Amino acid sequence: MPVPLESKSLKKIYRNKGRSTTAINDFTFSVKEKGVFSLLGRNGSGKTTFVKVSTTQLTPDDGYVRVFGKDVVEDEKELRHMISLVPQESRPFPHMTPYEHVYYFQKMNGKAREESKERAESVIGLLGMHDFARTECVNLSGGQKQLTMVAMALSLDTQIYFLDEPTIGLDIITRKGVWNAINKYRDAGKTILLTTHYLDEAAFLSDEIGIVSHGNFIKQGTLDELRSGLEYDTRVAMRGRVDHRAFEPYGKVHSDERGTVLFTSQEYVEKILSDSSVRKERIEIGPIGLDDVFISLVGEDIEVDEN
Amino acid sequence: MIRELYRTITSLTAMNGFIPLWRRPIALIAVISTPFSFLFFIYLFGGPSKILIGAIGGVLFTIVNASTMLQTDLLFYKLDLKFQQVVASTPINPLAYMFGLATGNIVFTLPGLAIFMAIIVYESHIGTLQILSVIGTLATTWVIFSMFSFLVSTRVREMRDIWPISVMFSIIFGVVPPIYYSISALPGPVQYVAYVVPTTWAAILLKGIVIQDFAGVALPALVFVIEMLCVLAFTSRFSDWRLNRS
Ligand SMILES: Nc1ncnc2c1ncn2[C@@H]1O[C@H](COP(=O)(O)OP(=O)(O)OP(=O)(O)O)[C@@H](O)[C@H]1O
Ligand SMILES: [Mg+2]
C-alpha cells in the first residue's frame, strides 16, 4: 500500500524575467499514515509551492512528489481524481452564493443535479454555513468567503485534501467548525495536508507535523516527538519583574517587557517554585508548546508577533 | 463521458453567463452599445442602403469583441480568484473549462445578436440555408477568438497587463478588418495584417452569404476553417493553464 504522500529531494525554482528564486531547495519527507499532516514554516518557506507541485499546478525541477504512489508529473491525470485543493488566498465568485459555488462545482465535476444538491446541502451543514449560504458572496465577510472556498474543496470526495491556510481570517468559533469538519474527514479515512500559521490549530488537529525553513524540510513528527527533540520539556512563564539571573542555572531564560520565560526540565520545577522570588500566582508552568518548538527550530532570534 | 462534459460546460456557462446576467442585467448595455453605435453611424452617413452592411458588421463585432474580452474574465478567475487552480487540480478538461466560460460569455450578447440577425434577415431576405451559414460562420468566429483568448490568458502573469492587451486585440480583431469597407481601402501594410486576421475572412464570408454569391465564398470559407484549425492546434500546443510558465 503506497503512503499518502511522499516527497523526495524535491526542488522548485521560479524563473521570472531573468530572476530565479529557489522556493524549494530540498523537501524530503513522507506522510506514512492517513490523517492530518500540517506543514509549518515561516512566510516564504515554500509551503504553497509544495502544495502547487503536489496538486499538479507546477512541475518539479528535481526530485518527485507522489500521492498514494502516483507521481505528480507522470500520473497527473489519475492523480487529479484523488486530490482536492483550497489555494492560498483564493476567493469565490462575487455574484454567486456559497450554495451555488458548491452546487455548480459538483456539476462541473460531472455530478447529476440531485447528487450535486445533496452534496451542497451536506457540506453547507457540515461547516455551519446555513445563515449565509444563499447570499451573494459580494455581500459576505472575508471569513464567510474563505469558508466558501473550503466548502467547495470538501465537497469533492477525494482521498487527500490540500488546504493551504484554510482558516485564515476565521474567528475562533468558525475555525473550530472547520476543525470539526477536518476531524470528520480524518475519521472517515481521508488524508489532509494542512498549512497554517495558527500553531494551536496545528497542535490540535495534526497527527503529524512537518517543519520547513528556507525551502528545506527540516523535521517531522508528532507533537510529542517534536517536543522531545528539544533540550527542555517545561515552560515557566513569569509575569512582572524578575531577576532572571536567578533562573539561569535551570535552563534557558528569555526576558522582555512582558515578563520572563524559562525553558527548563520537569525535574527542576519544584526547586524553582520553592526558590522563587516571584509570587506563585504570577507563575504559569506547563509543557513546552508547539510555538516553542517552532521558534527553536526555525526562528532563533526573531521577534514573534503575539497574533 | 459526454454527459459529464455537458455538465461541466453548462455549469460554467451558468457561472459566467446566466447567473451574473440575472443578477447584473446592466452588463448587457455595455456589450450591446458599441456595435449599435457603429450601426447608428453607418446609417447616419450611409443612409438606409448601408443598414445591411452595418448589421453584418455589428453581429461580427459583437462576437469578436465579447470573445476577446473573455481574456479579462479568464485572467480574473485565474489570478484574482485563483479559481483556475481549483479547477486545474480536478480532472476537468481545460478546453471544456474554456468553452463553458466562453458560452457563458456569449449569453450576454444574445439579445444584441438577435436584433442584428433580425435586421440581416429582414433586409436581405435570405433563406434557411443562408441563415444557418451565417450562424455557422459566427460560431466559428466565436470558437477562434475564444480559444485565442484562452491561449493569451494562460500566458499573462499579471492582471494589470491584460487591459492593454485585450484592448489591443479588440482593435486588431474587431476594428481593423474590413467589415464596413473593402480591404483595398486600407493602407498597404495594414492590408497584410487584415488578410491574416480571421475577422476579415468572416466578413468576406458573411457578405458573400448574404448577397448569395456562393462561388465567391468557397475560398474564404476554406481559409477560415484552416485558420480555426491552426488556432486550435496552436492553443493546445502553447496554452499552459497550470502555473508552470505563468
Ligand atoms: N510566482 C512566483 N514567482 C517567483 N517567486 C515566487 C513565486 N511564488 C513564490 N515565490 C517565492 O518562493 C518562495 C516560497 O514561496 P511560498 O509561496 O511557497 O511560501 P509559503 O511558505 O507558502 O509562505 P506563506 O506562509 O507566506 O504563504 C518565496 O521566497 C517567494 O518569494
Ligand atoms: Mg503560502
Cβ of A14 below 6 Å from ligand 1: yes
Q: Please write the tens of the pLDDT for every residue from A262-285.
A: 888 888 888 888 876 777 778 888
Q: Angle at the Cα of B77 (from A150 to A10), degrees rounded to 5?
A: 65
Q: Which amino acid is at B34?
A: T
pLDDT score of A300: 54
Atom index in ligand 1 nearest the CA of residue A215 equals 14
Contacts of residue A216, defined as CB under 8 A and 6 or more positions apart, other chains included, come to A25, A26, A27
ipTM confidence: 0.89
Residue whose CA is closest, atom 1 of ligand 1? A14
Nearest to B209 by CA among B151, B157, B94, B132: B132
Tell me which chain A residue has its CA closest to the CA of residue B101: A108
- Whether A292 maps to a domain, the answer reads no
Facing residue for B89 by CB, picked from A56, A104, A110 = A56
Contacts of residue A29, defined as CB under 8 A and 6 or more positions apart, other chains included, come to A6, A7, A210, A217, A220
Q: Are residues A137 and A236 in the same domain?
A: no
Q: Hey, are the CB atoms on B89 and A136 less than 8 Å from each other?
A: no
Query: φ, ψ for residue A62 (rounded to 5)?
Result: -160, 160
- Whether A68 maps to a domain, the answer reads yes
Nine cell digits for residue B18: 446566466
Cβ of A44 below 6 Å from ligand 1: yes
- Whether A223 maps to a domain, the answer reads yes
* B92 close to A (CB below 8 A): yes
pLDDT score of A276: 67
Mean pLDDT (chain B, rounded): 88
- Whether B177 maps to a domain, the answer reads yes
- Total domains in chain A come to 2
DSSP, residue by residue, A202-220:
HHHH-SEEEEEETTEEEEE
Q: Of A208, A227, A246, which one is at a domain's C-terminal end?
A: A227
Q: Please write the tens of the pLDDT for every residue from B160-191.
A: 888 899 888 888 888 777 777 777 888 888 88
- Whether A156 maps to a domain, the answer reads yes
Question: Hey, of B86, B87, B99, B241, which one would you mutate to test binding to chain A, going by the most A CBs within 10 A of its CB?
Answer: B86
Q: Of A227, A242, A275, which one is at a domain's C-terminal end?
A: A227
pLDDT score of B33: 79
* A139 close to B (CB below 8 A): no
Q: Are residues A9 and A76 in the same domain?
A: yes
Structural domain harbouring B149: 2-238
Tell me which chain B residue has its CA closest to the CA of residue A112: B7
- Whether A303 maps to a domain, the answer reads no
Q: Please write the tens of the pLDDT for every residue from B121-147.
A: 998 888 899 999 999 999 999 999 999
Q: Please write the tens of the pLDDT for every residue from A40-52.
A: 999 999 999 999 9
pLDDT score of B241: 78
Q: Are residues A257 and A167 in the same domain?
A: no
pLDDT score of A304: 45
> Looking at the DSSP assignment, which residues form a beta bridge with residue A234?
A264, A287
pLDDT score of B74: 94
Q: Are residues A44 and A178 in the same domain?
A: yes
Residue B192 CA to residue B195 CA, distance in Å, equals 5
Structural domain harbouring A91: 5-227
Q: Are residues A155 and A52 in the same domain?
A: yes
Residue whose CA is closest, atom 3 of ligand 1? A14
- Total domains in chain B come to 1
pLDDT tops 70 at residue A306: no
Q: How confident is the model at residue B6 (pLDDT cuts 50, 70, 90)?
A: very high
Indicate the SS3 state at residue A233: coil
Q: Please write the tens of the pLDDT for every residue from B12-22.
A: 999 999 999 99
Q: Are residues A109 and A24 in the same domain?
A: yes
Nearest to A85 by CA among A177, A186, A160, A175: A160
CATH of the domain at A15: 3.40.50.300
Best mean pLDDT range from A22-36, B47-61, B187-201: A22-36
Q: Give A39's DSSP letter.
A: E
Q: Are residues A16 and A130 in the same domain?
A: yes
pLDDT tops 60 at residue A302: no
- Whether A181 maps to a domain, the answer reads yes
Q: What is the pTM of this model?
A: 0.90
Q: Are residues A54 and A10 in the same domain?
A: yes
Mean pLDDT (chain A, rounded): 91
Query: φ, ψ for residue B57 (rounded to 5)?
Result: -60, -40
